[in-house]
Amino acid sequence: MRGGRLRHVVEVLKPTTTQDESGGVVRGFTVVTKLRCRVMERGAREFERYEQAIAEVDTIIATRELKGRHAVIEADWQLRWRGVVYDIAGTFEPEGSADRETMIAARRRK
């Protein structure tokens, strides 16, 4: 994957729990890492190639192959791009692609 195509920065958010002043459990999210990505929203020509594999998503985010301590992205994590939060539907690697990339299928949080 050419570096110039990764022009967006997406934050990966991991769920966390903390306690408030009264001792109650509060669920929130913490930024785990930031990824350089290519973002394809529904309607983009490139999106149509992957749409059949995962029909319920509205955004596909392509990034370099995930390595190291951030090699796993869980389904209950979220992504934030341009202030919009996305729920992760799954990850996949495109078949027959010479690029070492990981695709993250996501849907806009409502």
Asked if 2 and 36 touch (Cβ cutoff 8 Å), the reply is: no
Whether the pLDDT of residue 2 is over 90: the answer is: no
70 in Cβ contact with 77 (< 8 Å): no
Nearest to 10 by CA among 45, 50, 37: 37
> Model confidence over 63-107: pLDDT tens digits?
886 766 556 788 899 999 999 999 998 887 777 665 678 888 898
The DSSP result for 68-103, as a single string, is: GGG----TT-EEEETTEEEEEEEEE--TT-SS-EEE
Beta carbons within 10 angstroms of residue 26's beta carbon: 9
Neighbour count for residue 77 (Cβ, 10 Å): 17
Specify the higher pLDDT residue, 26 or 70.
26
Q: What is the pTM of this model?
A: 0.76
pLDDT at 31: 93
